[in-house]
Chains A and B, each alone.
Chain A
Amino acid sequence: MRVNRNRTFYYIKEGISSIFNHSLMSFASICIIVAFLIIMGSFILLAVNINAIIGELENDNIILAYIHENVPESEARAIEHTLRSIPNIASVVFIPREEAFENFMRRYDEEDRFADIDYTVFRHRYAIYVEDVALIEDTQQELRYIPELASNSANLAIAQTLVNIRNVVSWISIIIIAVLLAISLFIMSNTIKLATYERREEIAIMKMVGATNSFIRWPFIFEGFILGITGSLVAYLSIIGLYSLTAGWVLDFEAGFFQLVVFSNVSVPLFLLFTAIGFGVGVGGSVFALNRYLNV
């Protein structure tokens, strides 16, 4: 397709001048995009942090796999490779019986009471970390086929609770974001409809002098694009500020009990999401609102 540079320049110029000619409407459109993206971004960041906390709790949810008493330590250590090849196992740590004994004594801190216990009563064991807590039962099943292992244990109730919490948080986040998106599209499209209604005479004049629909549409598209992108950038910068304030507050208040996810971990996807929504709402809203005036 041949690009007419003069015409493209005209569209951009018209789009920009239209923003200033209808400054109140432009300001309202940007404010709506900013407000929506800040609310949506806050929910996304909340969901990301809740997921991160759950993820950390899941990491503590391990399977303990005990080795038969008659299997020597060297053989017990040798099955590490076999364990790693089982699906859903993220990592394994071998714990010899001496270390298990020490851990036990440390945990109960009642050495006198267990003074006559010999460490040989403990089994060698593996601490097995899984990738997905939801599949922990299947992993336990797989472990039963390894002859050197006497038994294994995991706290299935905690695992299931964590899985449930994560699912609920994910669903609530998705529903809230979808509702916010729908509300925002509705408000945005009405704002642009209002702006377009204000300019219906102008559009009618364009049609009268023989303007094609695309000639009429492009300046509006550029206008929507600029408003959408401006709104998304303002919202992104606001979210950075709000998040760093919140992170500082959490650090002071919780005294290191937990930390928020570092913003740079989510900055790129969040920026892309904000830009995409700003673009979609700005341009999509313009095209949608214009259509009713173009069918003349």
Chain B
Amino acid sequence: MIRMTDVFKEYANGTKALKGVTFELNTGEFAFLVGPSGSGKSTIIRLLIGEIAPSDGTVIVNGQDMDNIKMRKMPFLRRTVGVIFQDFRLIENKSVYENIAFAMRVIGASAKDIRQRVPYLLELVGLEFKAKAKPDELSGGEQQRVAVARALVNNPRLIIADEPTGNLDPARSLEILLLLKKINELGTTVLVVTHEKPLVDQFSQRVIAIDGGRIISDGMDGYYNYESE
């Protein structure tokens, strides 16, 4: 599903963001990637969604080597990966329904499929009565649930959530993580990137900790050895 082998990343300004990162996330797994700001978490996300290429090492996502993928094939790979961001990234002038349906239109889904799939997902994330609302009419937690539904709409094999609770209060944060856990139980591989230690502590899951561009621990039961900010 995800395999990073001895990955280095140095940006044009000389910043060495990753210094030999190696980890693997297998099909059906749920894991947290944790670390303080500037530890390299965002660089890993950007490598996984093909925004940037590694300086050295290999990044494989859903069987595809990200360093060798052709630009025209990138959209098709992205369809197999659902991404959730801290700032939700919803299209402001589209309704909740349209924001989710849009991701299906992109892959050429039929109108009939869209009519069947979108209400199912709205129900899954508990927003069936907010289908016509615009993003700015929703709370932060609701907006993030729309983003989760959009990430799921094309049945991706992998969900990457980048600080999905960063803009939410503790109750809403837990709600979103429970939703992601539920999605994982339905068979989707999930990688949650966060720096919120108290939240991670509530789950008995694999935790990959990164600091200074290196993996400093990788284990089960929520253990990691750095202090949350």
Contacts and interface: CB of A to CB of B under 8 A. Distances in A.
6 contacts: A206-B106, A208-B78, A209-B79, A209-B154, A210-B103, A211-B106
A206 B105 CA distance: 10
A204 B71 CA distance: 15
Given A6-B111, A296-B51, A207 B78 contact: yes
Interface of B: 49, 51, 71-72, 75-79, 83, 89-91, 93, 102-103, 105-108, 110-111, 150, 154
A208 B79 contact: no
Given A10-B105, A296-B51, A208 B89 contact: yes
A212 B72 CA distance: 8
Contacts of B107: 210
4 nearest A-B residue pairs (beta carbon): A210-B79, A210-B78, A209-B103, A211-B106
Nearest to B81: A210
Contacts of B83: 208
Tell which of B72, B79, B105, B110 has the most Cβ of chain A within 10 Å. Answer: B105
A201 interface: yes
Interface string A1-31: 0001011001000000000010000000000
B75 A7 contact: no
A212 B110 contact: no
> Looking at chain A, what size class is its interface with the partner chain?
20 to 34
A205 interface: yes
A6 B78 contact: no
Interface in A32-76: none
Q: A-side binding surface: helix, strand, loop or mixed?
A: helix
A209 B108 contact: no
A80 interface: no
B108 A210 contact: no
B106 A210 contact: yes
Contacts of B93: 21
Contacts of A210: 75-79, 103, 106-107, 154
B106 A201 contact: no
Contacts of B91: 202, 205
B110 A6 contact: yes
Contact of B108 (A7, A201, A206, A208): A7
A215 interface: yes
A208 B76 contact: no
Contacts of A212: 72, 75, 106
A295 B93 CA distance: 24
Contacts of B51: 296
B152 to A, nearest CB: 11
A215 B104 CA distance: 12
A201 to B, nearest CB: 7
A197 to B, nearest CB: 15
A140 B64 CA distance: 80
B89 to A, nearest CB: 5
Contact of A215 (B49, B72, B106): B106
Contacts of B90: 205
Nearest to A10: B105
Given A206-B106, A209-B150, 17 more contacts: A6-B110, A7-B108, A204-B89, A205-B90, A208-B49, A208-B78, A209-B78, A209-B79, A209-B102, A209-B103, A210-B77, A210-B79, A210-B103, A210-B106, A211-B106, A212-B72, A212-B106
Nearest to B78: A210
